[in-house]
Amino acid sequence: MNSFIQRCIEPDCQTEYKIDERLYVCSRCGGLLDVVWGDTVVDADSLRKLWRERKSSLDVRDRSGVWRFREFLPFAEDVEVVSLGEGNTPLYEAPRSADYCRLSHLKLKHQGCNPTGSFKDTGMTVAVTQARKLGAQLVVCASTGNTAASLAAYAARAELRCAIIVPGGQVSHAKLAQALDYGAKVLEVEGNFDSCMNVIRELSEDGAVYLVNSINPFRIEGQKTVAFELAEQLEWRVPDHLVLPGGNLGNSSAFGKGFRELLRSGLIDRLPKITVVQAAGAAPFARFYREHDAFVNEEHPQTLASAIKIGAPVSWPKAWRAVSETGGSVITVTEQEIADAKAVIGRDGIGCEPASATTVAGIRKLISERAIQEDETVVAVLTGHLLKDTDYVMKYHSDSLIAPDGERLASNFGNSPIRVPASLKMIRALL
Ligand X SMILES: *Cc1c(COP(=O)(O)O)cnc(C)c1O
- How far apart are alpha carbons 44 and 416 in whole angstroms? 51
The reply on whether position 251 binds ligand X by CB under 6 A is yes
Cα separation, 312 vs 330, whole angstroms: 16
The torsion of the CA quartet 145, 151, 153, 159, rounded to 10 degrees, works out to: -150
Does 146 bind ligand X (CB under 6 A)? Our answer is yes
Q: Alpha-carbon distance 411 to 419, whole Å?
A: 19
Report the partner that residue 13 touches, choosing among Zn ion, ligand X, none (CB closer than 5 to 8 A by kind). Zn ion
Residue 154: CB minimum distance to Zn ion, A: 29
Cβ closest to ligand X, residue 251 vs residue 326: 251
Candidate list 194, 232, 261, 353; residue touching ligand X; CB under 6 A: 353
Instruction: Report whether 4 contacts 74 (CB < 8 A).
Output: yes
355 touches, from ligand X, Zn ion, none (C-beta below 5 to 8 Å by class): ligand X
90-to-227, 325, 376 alpha-carbon distances in Å: 13, 27, 21
Can residue 245 be called a binding residue for ligand X (CB under 6 A)?
Answer: yes
Q: Cα separation of 208 and 305, whole Å?
A: 34
# of chain residues touching ligand X (CB under 6 A): 19
Which of 103, 128, 151, 249 lies at the binding interface for ligand X (CB under 6 A)? 249
Q: Nearest distance from residue 5's CB to Zn ion, in Å?
A: 13
262 vs 305, which CB is nearer to ligand X? 305
Reported in sequence order, the residue ranges of 148-203 that DSSP labels E, i.e. its strands, are 161-167, 185-189
CA 230 → CA 225, 353, 375, 382, distances in Å? Answer: 9, 20, 20, 13
Whole-number Å distance between alpha carbons of 250 and 89: 19
Strand partners, 25: 32
Gyration radius of the chain over CA positions: 21
CB of 254 to ligand X, least distance (A): 8
Strands 33-37 and 4-8, how do they pair? antiparallel
Question: Which of Zn ion, ligand X, none does residue 284 bind (CB under 5 to 8 Å by kind)?
Answer: none
Binding site for Zn ion (CB under 5 A): 8, 10, 13, 15, 26, 28-29, 31
115 near ligand X, judged by CB under 6 A = no
Contact pick of 154, 383, 386, 409 for ligand X (by CB under 6 A): 383
Q: Which of 307, 339, 357, 378 binds ligand X (CB under 6 A)?
A: 307
Cβ atoms within 10 A of the Cβ of 3, count?
10
Minimum separation from the CB atom of position 126 to Zn ion (A): 23
The CB-of-7 to Zn ion minimum distance in angstroms stands at: 9
Q: How far is the CB of 220 from ligand X (least distance, A)?
A: 9
Residue number, 129 or 213, with CB nearest to ligand X: 213
Partner from Zn ion, ligand X, none binding residue 28, C-beta < 5-8 Å depending on class: Zn ion
Cβ-based nearer residue to ligand X, 51 or 285: 285
Which is closer to ligand X, CB of 225 or CB of 248? 248
Cα(114)–Cα(181) distance, integer angstroms: 17
* Least Cβ distance, residue 28 to Zn ion (angstroms): 5
Q: Is 128 a residue that touches ligand X (CB under 6 A)?
A: no
> Toward ligand X, which CB reaches closer, 64 or 214?
214
By the 8 A CB rule, do 326 and 271 touch?
yes
Q: Which residue is nearest to ligand X (CB)?
A: 384
Q: According to the binding rule CB under 6 A, does residue 308 interact with ligand X? A: yes
Q: Per rule CB under 6 A, is residue 306 in the interface with ligand X?
A: no
Q: Do residues 49 and 39 lie in contact, with contact meaning Cβ atoms separated by under 8 Å?
A: no
CB of 430 to ligand X, least distance (A): 35
Residue 331's binding partner out of Zn ion, ligand X, none, with CB under 5 to 8 Å set by partner kind: none
Contact yes or no for 157/131 (Cβ under 8 A): no
Instruction: Say how many Å lie between the first and final Cα of the chain, rounded.
Output: 62
Nearest to 394 by CA among 384, 382, 402, 404: 402
The listed partner (Zn ion, ligand X, none) that binds 302, CB under 5 to 8 Å by sort, is: none
Query: Which residues contribute to the site for ligand X (CB under 6 A)?
Result: 118, 120, 146, 214, 245-252, 307-308, 353, 355-356, 383-384
